[in-house]
A and B are shown apart, each in its own frame.
Chain A
Amino acid sequence: MTYALRKVGLLILTLWAAITLNFFLPRLMPGSPTDAAIAKLSQNGPVTAATRKAIEIQLGVPDGNLLSQYGQYLKQVLTLDFGVSYTFYPQPVADLVGQALPYTLILVGFVTIVAFVLGTLLGVLAAWKRGTWLDALPTLGGSFASAFPYFWTALLLLFFLGYVFKIFPTSGAYGVTNVPGFSGAFIGSALNHAVLPAVTILITSLGGWILGMRNTMISTLGDDYVTFAEANGLKPHTVAIRYAARNAILPNLTSFGLALGGVVGGSVLVETVFGYPGIGYLLLKAVTNQDYPLMQALFLMITVSVLLANFIVDILYGVLDPRTRK
């Protein structure tokens, strides 16, 4: 219990540090959004101080010294008020993120978990049946599939399944005629749209999980406690699952935590290729349009999700490995 409390304390501390960095880092950069806007305007003629003031008000440039700005910022973060997007003016950033987040979480998050579970199971099987076709097939197949560049696999799938055979839609998260909501038609359409990106992620990430699990499992199979369990005549599946796999999964949990943390930030490529309106797609737009409020909110989201994922894995570790509970 003290272990979990300690981890919660640590999480709060790192969250605070991340939020603070997120506030100060952009302010350390030379130039400001106002300067950028004025630089553009000044190509057409001189800019008056009143114009500058007007732009500042429009962009919501805060008053006061750095400290009071920081206090203001903390309050805004806690109330999820991230200001107004420049690109999608005048929509609030919070709304944009709120719309995009479910798509990314459901698509990339779900597929990451499926890939981890499936890959781990296949890895256990491969290691246990080492040297047979149950080992060769997933190991070779997995590494072959994950050796393709991500976008290339995506394009192949798009071309054949989307364009040539027209089985799945080629872009978007749902059909143009559907209205988002809890209707059967919408959910069906959303699932249909999610298949290609999901399969792409699965194909390219599965191999890594299989290989990782297989290799750690092979090394735990050589450990003394496995030999001793066999010497004591435990049933083969007990030895494989409770002794070998149970210990082999521990180092892989760390990679799983990293992968989970990367779900929000790492989906740029997927969502761009498939025109999927998630966080990654939003981030791309924010960056290309120099949409500072949106960017700042997204960066914060990415940081927080990495921290949260690591927190979850830390807690899991505490549950699964008594040696970490000290």
Chain B
Amino acid sequence: MSSDDILLTVEDLSVVYEPDGADPTFAVENVSFELRRGEFVGLVGESGSGKSTLGFALTRLSKPPARISHGTILFDGTDIASIDAEHLREQRQGGFAMVLQSGMNALNPVRTIRNHFFDVFTAHGHVSRERREERARELIGKVELPAATLDRFPGELSGGMRQRVSIALALSLEPQLMVFDEPTTALDVLVQHAVMNTIRDLQASEGFTAVLISHDLGIVLEATERVLVMHEGVIVEDGPSSEILNAPTADYTRMLLSHYADPRAEVVSLPGFEDRAIRRQAGASRSAVASPEHAPTVVTRSISTAQESIVVEHVSKTYPPPRRGEQPVRAVRDVSFTLEPGQSLALVGQSGSGKSTIAKMITGVEKPSEGSIRFGGLDVAKLRRGQLRDLHRNVQMVFQDPYAALNPLHTVEYTLTRPVVNFTGLKGRDARQRVLELLETVGLAPVEQFAAKLPHELSGGQRQRVVIARALACDPQVIIADEPVSMLDVSLRAGVLALLEDLREKWGVSLLYITHDLLSARLITGNIMVLHDGAVVERGETAEVLQRPTDDYTVALLEAVPNPQRTRR
């Protein structure tokens, strides 16, 4: 290829983080690569791999404490790693643009969408005053939004619409290079799919060079023609997508790939789940074999096998209208199901489908508008304070965000001691013994060390294990897990999922698993209910439903699962 084809040359680039009062760390180390004009390249890695830091460096948006410490970024012949601020600003028009991960917050809440466009036009003067309205309409049309969107404020748009607006704004710079930093991570599954399609279409029609940064190898392999895999600040693999998919050379890439599977397959297996898949296929015997990596040693546990069912009968939940003159919101419509003791049930659907509302009603946080929810002899909707305590002793939640679910000021031991003391009546040495047992159950060994740690010293997966241990502290019969792995890196997900399954199989805890991720539902649940707009559209055995879906919505959800193996384009 001739040198004219090269748009960007990165040579020996290092980015260092220099926080006040802490040792500097290199987030990106001696990275070199080239981008050809019109290429669509994926940049993949898990959290902390340095992929976003690299993306910010490419567009010269690195802010303190991050600093480009070494290397050059030749963009169209100019080293943008070293040019001054005003020159850099001018370069952005017709140069390089960035779409941020949280497109929801990338727009100024007090300015209309039209003004956002006009700000860009004014800053660079590349669109004349007379033409700017026309140009704004044209751009907003390119991302498949109606022209009326221009009159809106960001707060009046949905997450997907806001991300489309950011893409249109980035496009208004007429850039040669566009960097998309996790453009769909904060969005709903189905919306994600649609926004990714828009990005792919735009890249094809506008012909800009694109870098797609993502933690999701599935999404990247589906969209791009070349992939860079990053691990601990270094590019460990660089090659065409098909080669990375079929013949990955780096161990790390292989590991990432191994965590993808098609939820529709006959046998679904992930690392740590191999024997389970076979067992489930063979008719699901109850003799549990824990995977070796976190096999709990023999622990004397007092946990009571679940005896009570959760019975949900004709439950509906209607919220008052969000604004005057609008229709009331029917979050849940006439849902009935029974969660038998020791059973596992998945509630799947995109956000707004009512799955979390159901969880809130079961835990007594919200009251159903119609219908009844019973746990054993308790009518959940009519509980008073003392009875709610009984309910919470038996029904515990595991939340989505392990980073927000733990008080950063308390040690793991303190966090776990509270529920132990409050619910089981154990004190002093016995309580501590129980805390250590809990840590062992969730596979956080050596337990003494983990007990003394603060949340920030733990990885996301370890934090989620602590959250699960906290839920177990009062010997619950039922665990309700609301998207427990969606915030975790793929390599950590399997471990947490396996733990949830172990708990059910070994201790007989019932599991209500709420997710949009069909693969994980397939792995750890026996039964499934698909929710759409608050109503159940399909239900049955998980394997059966996912392999032979009958409802269009279930099919759409399955189609939206990123899958590297699927034929591309």
The answer to whether B108 touches A242, judged by C-beta atoms less than 8 angstroms apart, is yes
Asked whether B269 is an interface residue with its Cβ less than 8 Å from the other chain, the reply is no
If the complex has contacts A227-B100, A232-B170, are A322 and B110 also in contact, measured as CB distance less than 8 A? yes
Bound CA span A24–B102, Å: 54
Asked whether A156 is an interface residue with its Cβ less than 8 Å from the other chain, the reply is no
Bound CA span A320–B90, Å: 30
Bound CA span A229–B92, Å: 11
Query: Which residue in chain A gives the minimum CB-CB distance to B169?
Result: A232
The answer to whether A229 touches B173, judged by C-beta atoms less than 8 angstroms apart, is no
Contacts of A227 in B (CB 8 A): 61, 63, 100, 106
The answer to whether A233 touches B89, judged by C-beta atoms less than 8 angstroms apart, is yes
Asked whether A246 is an interface residue with its Cβ less than 8 Å from the other chain, the reply is yes
Query: Which residue in chain B gives the minimum CB-CB distance to A2?
Result: B324
Contacts of B89 in A (CB 8 A): 233, 235-236
The distance from the CB of A326 to the nearest CB of chain B, in whole angstroms, is 6
If the complex has contacts A232-B97, A234-B123, are A321 and B110 also in contact, measured as CB distance less than 8 A? yes
Partner of A228, one of B107, B124, B172: B107
Bound CA span A319–B207, Å: 42
Contacts of A296 in B (CB 8 A): none
Asked whether A223 is an interface residue with its Cβ less than 8 Å from the other chain, the reply is yes
Asked whether A231 is an interface residue with its Cβ less than 8 Å from the other chain, the reply is yes
Asked whether A63 is an interface residue with its Cβ less than 8 Å from the other chain, the reply is no
The answer to whether A247 touches B123, judged by C-beta atoms less than 8 angstroms apart, is no
If the complex has contacts A227-B100, A232-B170, A233-B173, are A323 and B120 also in contact, measured as CB distance less than 8 A? no
Asked whether A225 is an interface residue with its Cβ less than 8 Å from the other chain, the reply is yes
Asked whether B176 is an interface residue with its Cβ less than 8 Å from the other chain, the reply is no
The answer to whether B108 touches A234, judged by C-beta atoms less than 8 angstroms apart, is no
The distance from the CB of A164 to the nearest CB of chain B, in whole angstroms, is 45
Asked whether A73 is an interface residue with its Cβ less than 8 Å from the other chain, the reply is no
Partner of A247, one of B59, B110, B119: B110
Contacts of B155 in A (CB 8 A): 322-323
The answer to whether A233 touches B123, judged by C-beta atoms less than 8 angstroms apart, is yes
Asked whether A103 is an interface residue with its Cβ less than 8 Å from the other chain, the reply is no
Which residues of chain B in 162-179 are interfacial with respect to chain A, using CB atoms and an 8 Å cutoff? 166, 169-170, 172-173
The answer to whether A243 touches B124, judged by C-beta atoms less than 8 angstroms apart, is no
The answer to whether A242 touches B111, judged by C-beta atoms less than 8 angstroms apart, is yes
Contacts of B169 in A (CB 8 A): 228, 232
Query: Which residue in chain B gives the minimum CB-CB distance to A249?
Result: B110
The answer to whether B323 touches A232, judged by C-beta atoms less than 8 angstroms apart, is no
Which residues of chain A in 248-294 are interfacial with respect to chain B, using CB atoms and an 8 Å cutoff? 250
Give the number of residues in A that approach B within 8 Å (Cβ atoms): 24
Asked whether B19 is an interface residue with its Cβ less than 8 Å from the other chain, the reply is no
Query: Which residue in chain B gives the minimum CB-CB distance to A320?
Result: B110
Query: Which residue in chain B gives the minimum CB-CB distance to A325?
Result: B153
Asked whether B220 is an interface residue with its Cβ less than 8 Å from the other chain, the reply is no
Asked whether B98 is an interface residue with its Cβ less than 8 Å from the other chain, the reply is yes
Query: Which residue in chain B gives the minimum CB-CB distance to A326?
Result: B323
Asked whether B109 is an interface residue with its Cβ less than 8 Å from the other chain, the reply is yes
B118-145 CB mask vs A (1 if < 8 Å, else 0) is: 0110111000000000000000000000
The answer to whether B108 touches A246, judged by C-beta atoms less than 8 angstroms apart, is yes
Contacts of A235 in B (CB 8 A): 89, 123
The answer to whether A233 touches B111, judged by C-beta atoms less than 8 angstroms apart, is no
The answer to whether A323 touches B105, judged by C-beta atoms less than 8 angstroms apart, is no
Query: Which residue in chain A gives the minimum CB-CB distance to B63?
Result: A227
Bound CA span A225–B109, Å: 8
Partner of A242, one of B91, B106, B119, B166: B119
Asked whether B93 is an interface residue with its Cβ less than 8 Å from the other chain, the reply is yes
Contacts of A322 in B (CB 8 A): 109-110, 153, 155-156
The distance from the CB of A217 to the nearest CB of chain B, in whole angstroms, is 14
The answer to whether A232 touches B173, judged by C-beta atoms less than 8 angstroms apart, is yes
Partner of A223, one of B92, B105, B323: B105
Contacts of B63 in A (CB 8 A): 227
Bound CA span A69–B17, Å: 73
The answer to whether A238 touches B108, judged by C-beta atoms less than 8 angstroms apart, is no
A304-326 CB mask vs B (1 if < 8 Å, else 0) is: 00000000000000001111001
Query: Which residue in chain A gives the minimum CB-CB distance to B166?
Result: A228
Contacts of A223 in B (CB 8 A): 105
Contacts of B153 in A (CB 8 A): 322-323
Contacts of B90 in A (CB 8 A): 233
Contacts of A95 in B (CB 8 A): none
Partner of B108, one of A225, A233, A320: A225
The answer to whether B100 touches A228, judged by C-beta atoms less than 8 angstroms apart, is yes
The answer to whether A224 touches B100, judged by C-beta atoms less than 8 angstroms apart, is yes
Partner of B119, one of A238, A250, A323, A326: A238
Contacts of A320 in B (CB 8 A): 110
9 further A-B pairs in the complex, CB-CB below 8 A; given A227-B100, A247-B110: A224-B106, A227-B106, A231-B92, A231-B98, A232-B170, A233-B92, A234-B123, A235-B123, A322-B155
8 contacts between A and B (CB under 8 A): A225-B107, A227-B61, A229-B119, A231-B170, A232-B97, A232-B120, A235-B123, A243-B111
Closest 10 CB pairs of A and B: A233-B92, A228-B106, A224-B105, A322-B153, A231-B98, A234-B123, A225-B108, A224-B106, A233-B89, A323-B155
Please list the residues of chain B having a beta carbon within 8 angstroms of any beta carbon in chain A: 59, 61, 63, 85, 89-93, 97-98, 100, 102, 105-111, 119-120, 122-124, 153, 155-156, 166, 169-170, 172-173, 323
